[in-house]
Amino acid sequence: MPKYRYQCDYCSKQWDEWMSLSDPDPEECPHCELGYPFKVPTKFVKISSATQEKKSAKENVIDHIEENREILKQMKEELTK
């Protein structure tokens, strides 16, 4: 289930909601109940704290796969000893 970020056009507050693709968008702001919420575009980018470089979601997945491969390799080596 994806998480969407919304912003109110009246009070400008932002919030996140977990919604399925078939769920309708909210009709009013949960904060002020006066404004109309709209989706705020988001970009899935992670900034590495060590190097301060931006990484895309694909790059993050590849990094995690490589890290897990190394962990599995170490575990196999320990078990064969």
Domain ranges across the chain? 3-39, 45-80
Query: Looking at this protein, which amino acid is placed at residue 1?
Result: M
**pLDDT recorded at residue 47:** 56
Q: What is the pLDDT of residue 59?
A: 81
Q: For position 48, what pLDDT does the model report?
A: 56
pLDDT beyond 70 at 81: yes
What's the CA gap between 79 and 71, in Å, rounded? 12
- Distance from C-alpha of 44 to C-alpha of 58, rounded to nearest angstrom: 9
For 3-56, the pLDDT digits (tens) are 889 999 999 999 998 888 888 989 999 999 998 999 988 766 555 555 556 777
Instruction: Give, for 31, the enclosing helix (H) or strand (E).
Output: none
